[in-house]
Amino acid sequence: MMEISESAVIQIIASLRHLKAKDAYGLDTTFLKSHKESFACPIAHLINLSIRHNLFSSSWKEAVV
């Protein structure tokens, strides 16, 4: 099973478009991009746990349209 690395998470966050729109939690891509090194480890850990256990939070499946 392939896991995602912290460096991959950093690359993905860095490639996000600069949007001023906020998500359901009030975060925008500018904030995420400016703190990507701090978020990389916990995000990679959560993704890898989800993949390993085949469990995906229902909140990860929601979108604000």
For residue range 14-48, what is the model confidence (pLDDT) as tens digits? Answer: 999 888 788 878 888 999 999 999 999 999 999 99
Q: pTM of the prediction? A: 0.78
63 φ/ψ angles, rounded to the nearest 5 degrees: -140, 150
pLDDT value of residue 21:
82
Ramachandran sector of residue 38 (left: φ over 0; alpha: ψ -120 to 50; beta: rest): alpha
